[in-house]
């Protein structure tokens, strides 16, 4: 069975490349709007499902993996910042506090009529950050394409005091939980590639 990752994220691609599975990448074209009065968990699960379904419609025999990640603090979703000012404000908001990273994922094979949707939650605590540290981080330009304006696998790791939960979930793909779902529902073993 062909496997398709419905994501343009280089981080998700790298995580999946660390397994034995062969896959291709096809980016979904959905509108990633966050709806009012929708919980963060429901948001990421819906967006992951919509991304996977968008690609699956043209690849009915393939197993399509979709994912969406958000950073949540005080029940507020922090998506990708629009510019450096918004990135600065997000990092300042996270400074010295604990927040949650939630990644929703969807595994869809339309020909088998299988649709698995779930999510993973990890907790991240930032150090107290000085103005200079925040500005230094923003200058790396790393924050602009990432939920919550930071990437833990890059310079953003320098901002983190500690984490609880799945590290790869924070990067953007909870590979351990996805591996279990692939094995249980599709008989795919990421240790062997099929």
Would you name the residues annotated as active-site residues? Answer: 68
Task: Report d(CA 71, CA 123) in Å as an integer.
Answer: 10
Q: If DSSP codes are grouped into helix, strand and coil, which group holds residue 122?
A: strand
CA 114 to CA 116: how far, in whole Å? 7
115 token code pair:
């649709």
CB atoms within 10 A of CB 15: 21
Q: SS3 breakdown of the chain: % helix, strand, coil, rounded to 5? A: 40, 25, 35
């Amino acid at each position: 069975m062909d496997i398709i990752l419905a994501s343009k994220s280089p981080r998700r691609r790298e995580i999946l490349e660390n397994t034995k599975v062969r896959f291709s990448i096809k980016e979904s074209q959905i509108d990633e709007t966050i709806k009012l009065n929708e919980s963060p968990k429901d948001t990421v699960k819906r967006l992951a499902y919509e991304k996977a379904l968008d690609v699956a419609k043209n690849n009915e025999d393939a197993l399509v993996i979709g994912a969406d990640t958000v950073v949540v603090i005080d029940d507020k979703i922090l998506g990708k910042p629009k510019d450096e000012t918004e990135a600065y404000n997000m990092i300042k908001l996270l400074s010295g506090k604990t927040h949650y990273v939630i990644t929703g994922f969807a595994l869809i094979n339309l020909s088998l009529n299988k649709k698995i949707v779930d999510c993973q939650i990890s907790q991240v605590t930032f150090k107290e950050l000085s103005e200079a540290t925040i500005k230094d981080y923003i200058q790396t330009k790393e924050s602009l394409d990432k939920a919550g304006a930071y990437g833990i696998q890059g310079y953003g790791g320098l901002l983190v005091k500690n984490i609880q939960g799945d590290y790869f979930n924070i990067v953007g793909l909870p590979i351990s939980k996805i591996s279990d779902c692939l094995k249980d529902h599709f008989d795919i073993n990421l240790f062997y590639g099929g």
